[in-house]
């Protein structure tokens, strides 16, 4: 048993796999297959996708799971499609139809304006069929059980929105938004504003900053090539290029590994900017995510997450 565990742990990689999730399975289904079929016991993600959705799913492996909280808040970009005149209980085409209305009289320009009106949205209603929780229970569990689902709202930011194609009842769009935005809720709200209802029929996540669909790997091609799996995984050091990096000397690196709050070097202290920094050893080994703070009369590195 012990030998088997050691062999499994020896296969564990540390880094980020940018996966092109297919439409159909849940994000958890995809992670479980990678965990089971490629021997990756320590695995996580930087934001899930609904079963209907496809596209960028940022899979965190090994020590990279420690980056989760720092990647979850990344800006997302989606391309999607919706159908006017139809409303479902889940706000997408996989749900139960609750209403159908004609939309023949809608002006295409009015529809385009409704999509553009998403920009700047600040308060969004969370769908009843979602993983958001109420008193420890997911809302979808309450909805499926026929229990009353409380109305929950959350702050979101829509950075850009555009209508790519308007041919009623079909509409294609692209939207860039803050993490945690329910795009199907945007579609539902558009249907309410137009007075005919709308449901999302397709969604692809094109980007979860700083990762894009162009660098993503398909699930089946990844699973079918165990020998090439390592080449598909981005090392943690490469992922950290998105952060400002600080190289530490041997003694400082040792202090970080021992959990010490080491002083910021004088030359850096003069120009230290706020925010999270990536601390690296002289050899480029990722050590920690840290923040410079004034403690005991000195500017010191406070470790937010160890990566060694």
Residues known to be catalytic: 50
Q: How far apart are CA 243 and CA 240, in angstroms?
A: 5
CB-neighbour burial class of residue 146 (10 A; exposed 0-12, middle 13-18, buried 19+): exposed
Q: How far apart are CA 48 and CA 131, in angstroms?
A: 10
Q: Give the helix/strand (H/E) hosting 237.
A: helix 236-239
Structure tokens at 125: 């209603």
φ, ψ of residue 118 to 5 degrees: the values are: -60, -35
Q: Do 154 and 127 meet the contact criterion of CB atoms below 8 Å apart?
A: no
Q: How far apart are CA 205 and CA 186, in angstroms?
A: 15
Angle at 158 between CA 133 and CA 130, to 5 degrees: 20
Q: Which residue has the tokens 């060694």?
A: 308
């Amino acid at each position: 048993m012990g030998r088997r565990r050691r062999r499994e742990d020896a296969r564990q990689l540390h880094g980020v796999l940018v996966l092109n999730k297919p439409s159909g399975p849940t994000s958890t289904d995809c992670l479980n297959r990678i965990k089971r079929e490629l021997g990756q016991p320590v695995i996580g993600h930087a934001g899930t996708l609904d079963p209907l959705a496809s596209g960028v799913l940022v899979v965190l492996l090994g020590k990279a799971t420690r980056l989760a909280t720092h990647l979850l808040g990344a800006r997302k970009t989606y391309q999607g499609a919706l159908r006017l005149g139809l409303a479902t209980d889940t706000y997408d085409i996989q749900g139960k139809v609750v209403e159908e209305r004609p939309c023949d009289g809608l002006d295409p320009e009015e529809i385009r304006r409704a999509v553009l009106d998403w920009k700047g949205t600040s308060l969004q209603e969370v769908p009843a069929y979602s993983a958001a929780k109420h008193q420890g229970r997911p809302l979808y569990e309450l909805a499926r059980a026929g229990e009353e689902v409380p109305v929950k709202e959350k702050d979101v930011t829509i950075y850009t929105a555009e209508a790519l194609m308007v041919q009623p009842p079909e509409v294609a769009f692209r939207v860039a938004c803050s993490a945690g935005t329910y795009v199907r809720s945007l579609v539902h709200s558009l249907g309410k504003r137009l007075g005919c209802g709308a449901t999302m029929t397709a969604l692809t996540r094109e980007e979860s900053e700083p990762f894009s669909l162009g660098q993503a790997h398909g699930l089946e091609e990844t699973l079918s090539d165990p020998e090439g799996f390592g080449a598909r995984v981005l090392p943690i050091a490469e992922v950290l290029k998105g952060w400002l990096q600080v190289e530490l000397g041997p003694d400082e690196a040792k202090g970080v590994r021992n959990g010490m709050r080491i002083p910021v070097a004088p030359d850096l202290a003069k120009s230290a900017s706020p925010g999270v920094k990536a601390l690296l050893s002289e050899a480029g080994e990722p050590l920690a995510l840290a923040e410079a703070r004034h403690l005991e009369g000195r500017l010191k590195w406070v470790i937010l997450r160890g990566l060694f």
